[in-house]
Structure 1
Amino acid sequence: MIDAEETRRQKARNLRYKKPIAKELNLDKITDDLWEIQEECENVRWYTDSEDGSDSLINALAGDEEEAYEFKMAFW
Protein backbone atom coordinates (compact mmCIF):
# COMPACT_ATOMS: atom_id res chain seq x y z
CA MET A 1 0.00 0.00 0.00
CA ILE A 2 1.03 3.52 -0.64
CA ASP A 3 1.36 5.56 2.50
CA ALA A 4 -0.24 9.00 3.00
CA GLU A 5 3.04 10.87 2.50
CA GLU A 6 3.62 9.27 -0.90
CA THR A 7 0.04 10.03 -1.93
CA ARG A 8 0.49 13.71 -1.05
CA ARG A 9 3.73 13.85 -3.03
CA GLN A 10 2.09 12.30 -6.03
CA LYS A 11 -0.85 14.74 -5.90
CA ALA A 12 1.53 17.71 -5.57
CA ARG A 13 3.59 16.48 -8.53
CA ASN A 14 0.45 16.06 -10.65
CA LEU A 15 -0.65 19.62 -9.85
CA ARG A 16 2.71 21.02 -10.98
CA TYR A 17 2.58 19.25 -14.32
CA LYS A 18 -1.02 20.03 -15.20
CA LYS A 19 -1.68 20.76 -18.86
CA PRO A 20 -3.33 24.09 -19.76
CA ILE A 21 -7.10 24.22 -20.21
CA ALA A 22 -6.74 25.11 -23.87
CA LYS A 23 -3.83 24.16 -26.08
CA GLU A 24 -3.16 27.75 -27.17
CA LEU A 25 -3.54 29.26 -23.69
CA ASN A 26 0.05 30.11 -22.84
CA LEU A 27 2.10 33.29 -22.54
CA ASP A 28 4.10 32.80 -25.76
CA LYS A 29 1.02 32.27 -27.93
CA ILE A 30 -0.83 35.21 -26.37
CA THR A 31 2.21 37.47 -26.84
CA ASP A 32 2.59 36.40 -30.48
CA ASP A 33 -1.11 37.07 -31.14
CA LEU A 34 -0.86 40.52 -29.56
CA TRP A 35 2.17 41.37 -31.73
CA GLU A 36 0.25 40.29 -34.84
CA ILE A 37 -2.75 42.42 -33.83
CA GLN A 38 -0.48 45.40 -33.20
CA GLU A 39 1.15 44.95 -36.60
CA GLU A 40 -2.22 44.87 -38.37
CA CYS A 41 -3.38 47.97 -36.50
CA GLU A 42 -0.16 49.71 -37.50
CA ASN A 43 -0.83 48.80 -41.15
CA VAL A 44 -4.27 50.38 -40.94
CA ARG A 45 -2.88 53.45 -39.19
CA TRP A 46 -0.18 53.76 -41.87
CA TYR A 47 -2.89 53.69 -44.53
CA THR A 48 -4.90 56.44 -42.85
CA ASP A 49 -1.77 58.59 -42.26
CA SER A 50 -0.51 58.36 -45.83
CA GLU A 51 -0.73 61.40 -48.11
CA ASP A 52 -3.89 60.27 -49.84
CA GLY A 53 -5.08 58.03 -47.01
CA SER A 54 -7.65 60.40 -45.59
CA ASP A 55 -9.08 61.13 -49.04
CA SER A 56 -9.24 57.44 -49.87
CA LEU A 57 -10.72 56.63 -46.48
CA ILE A 58 -13.36 59.33 -46.78
CA ASN A 59 -14.20 58.11 -50.28
CA ALA A 60 -14.46 54.52 -49.01
CA LEU A 61 -16.84 55.68 -46.28
CA ALA A 62 -19.07 57.54 -48.77
CA GLY A 63 -17.80 60.99 -47.80
CA ASP A 64 -18.58 60.69 -44.07
CA GLU A 65 -15.71 62.63 -42.46
CA GLU A 66 -16.94 61.96 -38.91
CA GLU A 67 -16.92 58.21 -39.48
CA ALA A 68 -13.45 58.47 -41.02
CA TYR A 69 -12.23 60.29 -37.91
CA GLU A 70 -13.76 57.60 -35.65
CA PHE A 71 -12.09 54.92 -37.76
CA LYS A 72 -8.70 56.63 -37.41
CA MET A 73 -9.09 56.98 -33.64
CA ALA A 74 -9.94 53.28 -33.27
CA PHE A 75 -6.45 52.41 -34.50
CA TRP A 76 -4.47 55.27 -33.00
Structure 2
Amino acid sequence: MIRVNSEMAGSVWKLLVAVGDEVAEGADLLLLESMKMEIPVAAPAKGKVAEIRVEEGETVAEGQLLLVLAS
Protein backbone atom coordinates (compact mmCIF):
# COMPACT_ATOMS: atom_id res chain seq x y z
CA MET A 1 0.00 0.00 0.00
CA ILE A 2 1.21 3.47 -0.87
CA ARG A 3 0.08 6.24 1.45
CA VAL A 4 -0.34 9.68 -0.11
CA ASN A 5 -0.07 12.45 2.48
CA SER A 6 -0.59 16.18 2.21
CA GLU A 7 2.62 18.16 1.87
CA MET A 8 0.94 21.30 3.21
CA ALA A 9 -2.11 22.55 5.06
CA GLY A 10 -5.00 23.64 2.87
CA SER A 11 -8.38 22.53 1.66
CA VAL A 12 -9.32 19.83 -0.81
CA TRP A 13 -10.50 21.79 -3.81
CA LYS A 14 -11.21 18.91 -6.22
CA LEU A 15 -10.85 15.12 -6.26
CA LEU A 16 -9.64 13.93 -9.66
CA VAL A 17 -9.87 10.16 -9.04
CA ALA A 18 -12.30 7.64 -7.57
CA VAL A 19 -11.81 4.37 -5.71
CA GLY A 20 -10.87 1.68 -8.23
CA ASP A 21 -9.19 4.02 -10.71
CA GLU A 22 -5.80 2.94 -12.07
CA VAL A 23 -3.28 5.79 -12.00
CA ALA A 24 0.17 6.25 -13.50
CA GLU A 25 3.14 7.57 -11.57
CA GLY A 26 2.97 11.37 -11.61
CA ALA A 27 -0.77 11.51 -12.38
CA ASP A 28 -2.69 14.20 -10.51
CA LEU A 29 -4.92 12.68 -7.83
CA LEU A 30 -6.49 15.79 -6.32
CA LEU A 31 -6.07 19.54 -6.06
CA LEU A 32 -5.40 21.33 -2.80
CA GLU A 33 -6.07 25.02 -2.36
CA SER A 34 -3.71 26.95 -0.12
CA MET A 35 -3.21 30.71 0.00
CA LYS A 36 -5.43 31.08 -3.11
CA MET A 37 -3.19 28.76 -5.13
CA GLU A 38 -4.18 25.36 -6.55
CA ILE A 39 -1.59 22.71 -5.79
CA PRO A 40 -1.84 19.32 -7.52
CA VAL A 41 -1.08 16.19 -5.49
CA ALA A 42 0.51 13.60 -7.76
CA ALA A 43 0.77 9.82 -7.46
CA PRO A 44 4.22 8.85 -6.19
CA ALA A 45 3.96 5.53 -8.06
CA LYS A 46 1.53 3.71 -10.35
CA GLY A 47 -1.29 1.85 -8.67
CA LYS A 48 -5.01 1.50 -8.07
CA VAL A 49 -6.89 3.92 -5.80
CA ALA A 50 -7.83 1.76 -2.80
CA GLU A 51 -9.12 4.41 -0.37
CA ILE A 52 -9.92 8.11 -0.42
CA ARG A 53 -9.74 9.55 3.08
CA VAL A 54 -10.86 13.14 2.33
CA GLU A 55 -13.80 14.93 0.74
CA GLU A 56 -13.97 18.03 -1.44
CA GLY A 57 -14.06 21.14 0.74
CA GLU A 58 -12.36 19.42 3.69
CA THR A 59 -9.51 21.24 5.42
CA VAL A 60 -6.38 19.12 5.75
CA ALA A 61 -3.22 19.45 7.82
CA GLU A 62 0.36 18.99 6.65
CA GLY A 63 1.17 15.26 6.73
CA GLN A 64 -2.49 14.17 6.81
CA LEU A 65 -3.35 10.96 4.92
CA LEU A 66 -5.28 11.86 1.75
CA LEU A 67 -5.59 8.53 -0.02
CA VAL A 68 -4.11 5.06 -0.37
CA LEU A 69 -2.92 3.38 -3.56
CA ALA A 70 -2.60 -0.39 -3.96
CA SER A 71 0.52 -1.28 -5.91
Q: TM-score band, normalised by the shorter chain?
A: under 0.3
Larger strand percent: 2
For normalisation by structure 1, the TM-score amounts to 0.22
| More contact order relative to length (CA 8 Å, sep ≥ 6) | 2
* Higher Cα radius of gyration: 1
Which structure shows the higher helix fraction? 1
TM-score (norm 2): 0.22
